[in-house]
Structure formats: structure tokens, C-alpha cells
Amino acid sequence: MPLDRLVLILVTVPAAAGGTIWIAMLFFSASRISPLAAVLTALPIALGLYVVWRVISERLSNRDNDHYDKIEK
């Protein structure tokens, strides 16, 4: 495995885990304050996850992006 890929994995995995824990703690602390705060916290999180989901699904299903996969290196 190339060194740059290893470093990328070692940086992104802890960052994603930390972000997930931070979002969960934010949601749970808001739910202890009031249910309305929990809903208002969950809405932007859900919207962000939806946007990420749409971007990834568009990238995987777009045939125009497959042109570069056929180029010999």
C-alpha cells in the first residue's frame, strides 16, 4: 500500500469517528434540554447526510465519469 493512501486512511478514519461521536453527543445533549432542540439539531444533520448521499449516488451512477476509467495509465 502506498504511503499516501495509508496516511489518508489514518487521517480520515479517526476524523470520521470523532465527527460521528461529536454529532451523537450534540444530539443527545440537545434532547436532554428539550425535544424541540433535539428536532432542530437533527434536521440540519439529516439534510447534510442527504446531500452527501445524493452526491455519492450521482457519482456512482453517472456514465460520463466512466470515460476516465478506460484511459490506460
User: For the chain, how are helix, strand and coil distributed in percent, rounded to 5?
Assistant: 90, 0, 10
The DSSP code for 72 is -
pTM (2 d.p.): 0.50
At residue 1, the pLDDT reads 75
The DSSP code for 39 is H
Is residue 30 within 8 A of residue 37, CB to CB? The reply is yes
pLDDT band at 42 (very low <50, low <70, confident <90, very high): confident
- Residue range 14-39, pLDDT digits in tens: 999 999 899 888 878 877 877 777 77
Domain ranges, residue 13? 3-70
User: How many structural domains comprise the chain?
Assistant: 1
The angle subtended at Cα 6 by Cα 16 and Cα 65, nearest 5°, is 75
* Alpha-carbon span 6 to 21, nearest angstrom: 23
